[in-house]
């Protein structure tokens, strides 16, 4: 049976902890970008 590889770029995440915010700085070309995303603490 052939199962094709499909990357939908979506994530399902379940957690019982508190929601926090993560800040990430990453380089793009000759500058930097800042991304803010929610994450779960798993406490």
The full set of domain ranges for the chain reads: 1-43
Neighbouring residues of 7: CB distance < 8 A, sequence distance ≥ 6:
none
Neighbouring residues of 14: CB distance < 8 A, sequence distance ≥ 6:
none
Q: pLDDT per position in the chain (43 positions), as tens?
A: 666 667 677 777 676 778 889 999 999 999 999 999 888 776 6
pLDDT attached to residue 4: 67
pLDDT attached to residue 35: 92
pLDDT attached to residue 30: 92
- Answer yes or no: are the C-beta atoms of 25 and 36 closer than 8 Å: no
């Amino acid at each position: 049976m052939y199962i094709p590889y499909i990357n939908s770029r979506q994530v399902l995440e379940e957690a019982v902890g508190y929601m926090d915010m993560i800040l990430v700085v990453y380089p793009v070309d000759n500058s930097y970008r800042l991304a803010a995303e929610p994450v779960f603490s798993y406490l």
